[in-house]
Structure 1
Amino acid sequence: MQDIKSDILTILGEQIKPGESKEVNFDVANLHTSSAVNVPVIIERSKKPGPTVLFTAGIHGDEVNGVEIIRQLIAKGINKPKIGTIICMPVINIFGFINLKREFPDGRDLNRVFPGSPGGSLAGRVAHKLVNEVVPHADLIIDFHTGGSGRFNAPQLRFSKDNKELNDLAKAFGAPFVLYSKNLSKSFRTTCYKLGKPLLLFEGGKSFHIDDVVTNSGVNGSKRVLKHLGMLKTVFKSSKPKKECIFINDSKWQRAKYSGMFKASTAIGLHVKKEDIIGNITDPYGKFNYFVRASNTGYIININESPIVYQGDALFHITTKLKR
């Protein structure tokens, strides 16, 4: 008989045997009121061996759509694997989530302090604990993010170019777009890359907002990846995305030439041609109306939804070069 002890997963000081479900606490620090902050980590293990997939969200406390995606994975039982292990961390930056703020109470952006340190800032301590006590157990990480305040991202995956494993997983995920982007210094994605841990970064929607289309894209994409890995236990009838994924080699922001009241007249994800009217900028007094025309032909993958813009503000993120 196989020694069951060799299959025991020890994470954050807790042991989880094959076939077990357990909620463990990612405990870093209390609130300033001395109240305990419980950050649940939900772990589901199959009796059958297989890969370990880690779902993370809420690295930025105001990006609630990613939290909703993982919430649905748990609520619908999608996180109960047919083989292997699924670890869900819906809210990493619990301090920012409580106050609906992007950063930690010390003003630091968690996604710019990895891999962190055990004796550093609060954000650095959270990063260090995540990297050293959770990430080592994962064979694949799917990290959910949204666009910034007022900027709505089309559902998309991001990772560095020339990675066949992530390309194959991205095709399985089936997001509308894949944007090849360089790893950013001290980000979670860069740290995982250096540790040899494949990570798909999902972007969709905007902060302070939950969007059904974005949520469905994240949930269905996660199900497709789990099915691709042989881990999906639930029945999934619609396994293929409606449209083929578009891979983007390059893109650029189109910025406002004038300050004023802004309104987009195109929809996210649409293909536009150079000189198409895609929005307009006006003044509050009805004396000025400037039509924003597409600077190049491509897909709209982000739209600024703020009603007020200043000269130089980013309005549209448009693809410039697609993978052939």
Structure 2
Amino acid sequence: MKNTTPITILGEVILPGQSKTIDMEIAKLHNTAKLKIPIIIQRSKIDGPTVLFSAGIHGDEINGVEIVRQLITKKINKPKRGTIICIPIINMFGFINMSRQFPDGRDLNRVFPGSKKGSLASRFAYHILTEIMPLVDYAVDFHAGGASRFNAPQIRLAPNSPELKELADVFNAPFTLFSKNIAGSFRNSSQKLNVKMLLFEGGKSLDINESIADAGVDGVKRVLAHLEMLDPKHLVKEQASKTIYIEKSGWIRAKCSGLLHDQNTIGSFVKKGTILAIITDPFGKFERKIKAPNDGYIINANLSPIVYQGDAIYHISKTLEK
């Protein structure tokens, strides 16, 4: 069915069949230079859903930025029907500074729904939620692990959400975790607007990993094909196996400080007692093995070469949901 309805974002009108990049300018840098956050919109002339792909809500999580960049450069964001909105970098301040936070020290992903007259981060949250999200039906927000922690590619969704679970099945990342919405998060506020949002986690901060980017891009293509929005020229790569749902998981913490020698088990299924890493001191006096406390999948690994007692070093699944 032909679409004749225009949409408006930040005062700019985008007609069906039109493509437009809108620069969101909420504040300038401290040297008065303008700071623009590009919002890339592609619309089909055929009616359909509106899908958002966003990344960089934490400025140092550039693997997600790379995924959204690929969607644009490969023209995957050009829909057969409906509208696709891409925001490769939401937190441009943090991206410039290679920092997770906003300049005001706040985590943007904890201040939603924001305030028109609040802190800098709060104002950004407010404009995203009021200008963009009311138009959106589906969304995927891309993240990476922080503080040297490398996430195996995974989708996170709130429990007891049948529609999101169906979408996660379609995305078919290697892992899918049930994770409650956090107060103040982008995902939590989007859900209240009835936006069906998946959160993708993969890789670590300040890093671009090719296999993680491939998992993200392939998942997006499967979702768009499911929504009948993917241009037929884009081949959909089907996964050989279905996503592994993880209902419960826990952190393994370092029992001593020292140098961490990782045994490269990220993404693997390990048996109880498997050696995941060895912690040593710099002077050759001790070596302490870190063993898996139970059978499970290693879905996150701390790749920092130096750890302190109590540091979270591995995230392992405890029970699986079929």
Q: What range is the shorter-chain TM-score in?
A: over 0.9
Unmatched 5+ residue regions in structure 1?
none
Identity of aligned residues (%): 55
Secondary structure of 2:224's counterpart equals helix
Cross-structure match for 1:68: 66
How many aligned residue pairs are there? 322
Secondary structure of 1:69's counterpart equals helix
Q: Does 1:16 align with 2:14?
A: yes
The farther-off stretch of 67-76 and 266-275 is 266-275
Secondary structure of 2:70's counterpart equals helix
1:93-130 deviations in Å (ceiling 9; x for gaps)? 00000110000001000001000000000000000000
| 1:47 alignment partner AA | K
CA distance in 1, matches of 2:130, 2:235: 38
- Match runs of 1:35-114 below 5 Å: 35-114=33-112
Q: How far 1:278 moved relative to its partner? A: 1.2
Secondary structure of 1:40's counterpart equals strand
- Match runs of 1:82-231 below 5 Å: 82-231=80-229
Q: How far 1:266 moved relative to its partner? A: 3.2
Q: Pick from 251, 263, 266: which aligns with 1:265?
A: 263
What is the RMSD of the two structures over their aligned residues, measured on CA atoms?
1.3
| Alpha-carbon contact 1:78-1:234 (below 8 Å) kept | no
| Alpha-carbon contact 2:171-2:223 (below 8 Å) kept | yes
Q: 1:285 to 1:3 in 2, by over 3 A?
A: closer
Q: Does 1:25 align with 2:23?
A: yes
Q: Pick from 247, 250, 269: which aligns with 1:249?
A: 247
Q: How far 1:195 moved relative to its partner? A: 1.6
- Runs (4 or more) in structure 1 with deviation over 2 Å come to 1-4, 234-239
Secondary structure of 2:164's counterpart equals helix
CA distance in 1, matches of 2:11, 2:235: 38
CA distance in 2, matches of 1:248, 1:282: 32
1:130-175 deviations in Å (ceiling 9; x for gaps)? 0000011000011000000210000000011111111111111110
Q: Does 1:318 align with 2:303?
A: no
| 2:31 alignment partner AA | T
| Alpha-carbon contact 1:149-1:208 (below 8 Å) kept | no
Unmatched 5+ residue regions in structure 2?
none
Q: How far 1:29 moved relative to its partner? A: 0.5
| 1:145 alignment partner AA | H
Secondary structure of 1:134's counterpart equals helix
Q: 1:291 to 1:17 in 2, by over 3 A?
A: same
CA distance in 2, matches of 1:223, 1:111: 26
Secondary structure of 2:277's counterpart equals strand
Q: How far 1:235 moved relative to its partner? A: 2.6
The farther-off stretch of 68-77 and 157-166 is 157-166
The farther-off stretch of 264-273 and 295-304 is 264-273
Q: Pick from 288, 300, 303: which aligns with 1:305?
A: 303
Q: How far 1:2 moved relative to its partner? A: 8.0
